Every structure is written in structure tokens, then in C-alpha cells.
Amino acid sequence: MLDSAVTLENESLSRVALSDEAVALLRRLWGMHGPLMFHQSGGCCDGSSPMCFPAGDFLTSAQDVLLGRFDIAPAGEEPQEIEFWMSSEQFAYWSHTHLTVDVVPGRGSGFSVEAPEGVRFLIRSRLMDTAAPFA
């Protein structure tokens, strides 16, 4: 499991992590597509899954929250940073949860870069530690 760097002001705990399977897939996808990013919207259907895009292909705005930043590069290699964004509306619902991006078999959204790989990203959540500050 790889926890993200903390990106929210006045917080000290990671809000999002990647499973080992997600890290392995992201390294492979980085090799195919270059730098990547995640966005978690509050939409229905595929919009409720974390979407992975080439960095910059999804434009974020003041209506999005940067929940975390990952470096998926193996030790000793050039950094490979991936940002995880969430719509502020969705964050209002999920502010009490820690998210883990995992990989499961199946076809995801046609817009997310893992779709042709026969797998999809999935969010697993748990309640944040009660000692953690909330935004």
C-alpha cells in the first residue's frame, strides 16, 4: 500500500492510498501514456469510479480538491508523480473517509486509460481516524 503525500491545508494524515496492484498497473500505464492523474467525480455510473487520465487531459478547477499526490517510481528512479483530485461536491460527502484505489477485473470507463487492459480502478473506503482533522 502506498499512501499519498498530504495536500490539504491543516491536515497531517493521508486521505488516499494506492493498493500494490494499483501501483503496478499505474507504472505500466505510465510507460504507455506518460504522466497520469486521477479524478473522482460525484457523477453516476462510470463517474462514480476513479478515472485515470494522461496528466492535463482532465481540466481541474476551483470546484475540485487535490486529495493527494503519489510518487509511483521505484526507489532510485526519476519521480513519477500522480495527483488525485475529487470534485468538491463529492468531497463534501466523503470528507470523513480514507480512500484506497484498487484494481479489479472488468471493463471500466472508455475514458479512463486502464479500460483496454481488462481491469478497472475501484475505490475502497474506510472511516478516517477520529483524531484526524477534517477539512
- Number of neighbouring beta carbons within 10 Å of residue 101: 28
Residue 37: which of 107, 91, 95, 101 has the closest Cα? 101
What pLDDT, in 10s, does the model give residues 88-97?
999 998 899 9
Nearest to 17 by CA among 38, 32, 31, 48: 38
SS3 92: helix
- Using DSSP's 3-state secondary structure scheme, residue 19 falls into coil
pLDDT at 109: 65
User: Closest by alpha carbon to 85, among 126, 57, 118?
Assistant: 57
Beta-carbon count within 10 A of 74 CB: 10
Query: How much is the average pLDDT of 33-59?
Result: 85
Q: 48-90, pLDDT tens digit by residue?
A: 689 999 999 999 999 999 999 999 999 999 999 999 999 999 9
- What are the cell numbers at 68? 493527494
* Rounded average pLDDT over 30-51: 82
Question: What stretch of H or E contains 27?
Answer: helix 20-33
Q: Which amino acid is at 19?
A: S
The structure's pTM equals: 0.90
Q: Percentages helix, strand, coil for the chain, rounded to the nearest 5?
A: 20, 35, 45
Domains, the chain: 2-127 (2.60.300.12)
Query: Is the Cβ–Cβ distance between 132 and 101 less than 8 Å?
Result: no
